[in-house]
Each structure stands twice: as structure tokens, then as C-alpha cells.
Amino acid sequence: MASRGASRLRSIVGGTVGNLVEWYDFYVYSAFSLYFAHVFFPKGDATAQLLNVAAVFAIGFLMRPVGGWLLGVYADSRGRKAALTLSVLLMCGGSGVIALTPGFDQIGVAAPVLLVVARLLQGLSVGGEYGTSATYLSEMATAHNRGFLASFQYVTLIGGQLLALAVLLVLQATLSEADLHAWGWRIPFAIGAALAVVALRLRVSLAETAAFEHVPEGQRHGVLRRLAEHKRSVLLVIGLGAGGSLAFYTFTTYMQKFLVNTVGWSKPDASLIAAGTLTVYMLIQPLFGALSDRFGRKPQLIAFGVLGMVGTVPLMLSLANTHSRVEAFFLILAALTVVSCYTAISGLVKAELFPANVRALGVGLPYAVSVSLFGGTAEYVALWFKSAGNEAGFYYYVAGMIGVSLVVVLVLPDTKRTSLIDSRPS
């Protein structure tokens, strides 16, 4: 029994460490874009170069549904371990290409082409990582601690974002501005590629889940056709992810820009607040995961829906008008605490809706669609409202989409009690 528990712990550590590396690699692109924009595109207007880099960043989001589809099918037909290994291999390749590609001055148009190829690989990787890692962690955990252990998916997801920010701060403190623009920006991508190699070695040694091994060989084929038999669950995942992913990206990645552009703070102050709130947010994920093991998934999701729908507008209005760093910290942390009711168990709830033969695809593909449509566009929509002179419209938009997810939650069964994870396929 002790040996089985140790094996399960090693598998969970291997799965979550890989997840951290993947999200570090994905976020480091955004963190260092100011320093490498001039390298990959023709000399000229700096804003045009940044827009080109941002467009390539968006390609990563657009590829996530494709990754959710391809790696979801692969995970349900070839195994969770195989898909997790392929996912981190794609991310390693993407980071390596960015770290080593010469600039536009050396190889011309091939430089931005290779940058696009690298982001295609990274987008495929992250798109497939969410569904596969959520499935793997859910299947590896036992029924009594499934919420607690599955919450580490977001611990490592947020941890990857914080690690990218930490590397940025260290390099800003140790290298000159000129060195960062000349060659220092390559360091974080080289670090990401090296970490991905370590994660790859960990994932190669992962144990396969019993849930996948119990799927009859005949049910490992025609996965897309089998997923069509679960249309209701697919729609539930999309609806739940619409408000959930929008809230997550609004109060995490967009907050730093909001504090600078709307509140009027300096970039260092905004970065410090963002790092502090994200650190606490990361640490409280297991608490909310454990609470779901005790009281069920649905009460927590209802709390997210009600508090998010009612509280988003007044909270954002207060944040936009605050002059206190302490007040801003606690306002953002309050929002992230509410979002934790969703993020700590979001992957698990989705996994519990599907049988093992379509679980990775059922989690990954519809979630990738919702995060691309709503989470990935959060910053663009927010800035559109601001440019139109109606920034508060974005606050109502976020509240409204959380309300949509609340409606979905109300028709959603409490998956802790109806979970399909421990069921055996016929």
C-alpha cells in the first residue's frame, strides 16, 4: 500500500512539474516581448514591431483548440502518459527555436516565420496540456482527496506565470537594458527549453492511469465520434469555462496593465502588486480543492457564480479609483479568492463529467474553445471598451459572463457525487 502511494505521489509530482514548465514557457514570451520585438521584424516603428509580436502571441491562443483536439484524441487513444510526454516535447521545441533563431538582420523573413512556427508548437502544447493534465491528476488521485490533488494543476499554472515574472525581475536587475535587448532576452527561453528537458525525463517515467488501462481496446478508436454522444457535457464545459476563464485572465494577466493604464501606477508598482496577489492566489488553491472534497463541487461553483456576478462591477470600480497600494492588493486578492472557487476544481469538475474513453478530449477541446473565445480575448475586449470611452462596460461584461457560467452551474450535477472517474467502461 505504501509503495502504491509513493508511486502515485511520484506520478502527480511528475505531472504537475511538467505543467509548471509548460506555463512558464508560454508566459515568458509575453514577459520578454518588449526586449525581442525588434529582433524578429524589420527595423522601423517600435509600436508596429510590438503589434507583430502580439499577433504572434495571439496565434498561440488560436492554436489551443487544435491542441486540445489533437492531444485529447492522442491521450484517449494512446494513453495519458504518451500525451503528456508529447506535450512537453512540443513546448521544449518551441522554446528552443525562439532561443536559437537568428534575427531579421541575419536571415530575413525566415526569422518571423520561425517565430510563428515556435508559437504554433507552444500553442498546440498548452492546448493539449490542460485537458490531459486535468485528466491525469483526476485519475491518479483517490476519491477522498481528488479535489485537493487536482487543485495543483492551477498551483503549477500560476507558478509558471510567477517563475516567468521572477526571471524577468532577476535579469532586469543583473543585465543592462542594452544587453537585455541584444542577447539577454534569449536566456529565459533557453531556461525554458532546459527545464522542459527535465520535465520530459520525469514524464517518460510516469505511470499510466488505471482508468485508461481499463478502457477496452475497441473503445480507444473513433474518439471524436464517441465524444458526440456527450453533447450535453461538452456544452456544460464550454459554458462553465466562458465565465471562469474570462474571470481568471481578467484578474491575473490583465490586472498588471489595468493598474498602469487605468489606475495610473508605475510598472514596478503594478508588477509588485501582481506578484504578491498571484503568490497568495497560488497558495490557496489546495485549500479550495480540499473544501470541495469535504462539501462538494457545486456549492463552491455557485459561490463563484453569485459572488463574481454581484461583486465584479463594484470591485473594479473601487479598484479603478483607489490610491492605496494596500487597498488595491486586498481588492485584487478578494477577486482572486472568489475565482479560486472555480479554478481549484475546474479541471476536475470537467473530468468528472466524461467517461475514461473520451475524458481527455472532453475536457481539453471544449475548454480550449471557451478560453480562446473568452479568456484569451479578455485584454483586447477590456482595451476596446476603454478606447470607446466606456471602460465600465467591460466590468459588466465580465459580470455577465460569470452569470452565464452560474446558469450552467445550476443545471450541473454535483460531480463529486456523480463522478464518472471511478466507473469502469463496459
Assess whether pLDDT exceeds 50 at residue 324: yes
Assess whether pLDDT exceeds 70 at residue 354: yes
CA–CA dist 114, 116 (Å, integer): 5
- Reported as a pLDDT band with limits 50, 70 and 90, residue 237 is very high
- The 10s digit of each residue's pLDDT in 76-131 is 999 999 999 999 888 888 889 989 999 888 998 888 889 888 888 888 888 888 88
Assess whether pLDDT exceeds 90 at residue 406: yes
Closest CA to 161 of 25, 44, 318, 338: 25
Is the separation of the CB atoms in 407 and 281 below 8 Å? no
Cβ neighbors of 144 (< 8 A, separation 6 or more) are: 293
Question: What confidence score (pLDDT) does residue 272 get?
Answer: 86
CA–CA dist 188, 184 (Å, integer): 8
- The 10s digit of each residue's pLDDT in 62-72 is 888 999 999 99
Angle ∠(272,275,278) on CA atoms, nearest 5: 145
Assess whether pLDDT exceeds 70 at residue 50: no
Question: What confidence score (pLDDT) does residue 271 get?
Answer: 80
* % residues pLDDT > 90 (the chain): 42
CA–CA dist 136, 12 (Å, integer): 8
Mean pLDDT of the chain: 87
Question: What confidence score (pLDDT) does residue 1 get?
Answer: 47
Mean of the pLDDT values across residues 123-149?
A: 89
Closest CA to 248 of 370, 350, 166: 370
| Angle, helices 267-283/325-351, rounded to nearest 10 degrees | 40
Place of cell 481499463: 214
Question: What confidence score (pLDDT) does residue 224 get?
Answer: 81
Mean of the pLDDT values across residues 389-401?
A: 94
Assess whether pLDDT exceeds 70 at residue 51: no
Closest CA to 329 of 278, 264, 388: 278
Q: How far apart are the first and last CA of the chain?
A: 28
Mean of the pLDDT values across residues 366-374?
A: 90
- Reported as a pLDDT band with limits 50, 70 and 90, residue 315 is very high
Report the b/e string of 79-90 with b at 16+ CB within 10 A.
bbbbbbbbbbbb
Question: What confidence score (pLDDT) does residue 2 get?
Answer: 46
Mean of the pLDDT values across residues 308-323?
A: 95
CA–CA dist 225, 242 (Å, integer): 24
Place of cell 521545441: 93
Question: What confidence score (pLDDT) does residue 49 get?
Answer: 64
CA–CA dist 361, 351 (Å, integer): 10
Element (H, E) at 242: helix 231-251
| Helix, strand counts (H, E) of the chain | 23, 0
CA–CA dist 255, 252 (Å, integer): 6
- The 10s digit of each residue's pLDDT in 169-199 is 888 889 988 898 889 999 999 998 888 888 8
- Reported as a pLDDT band with limits 50, 70 and 90, residue 268 is confident
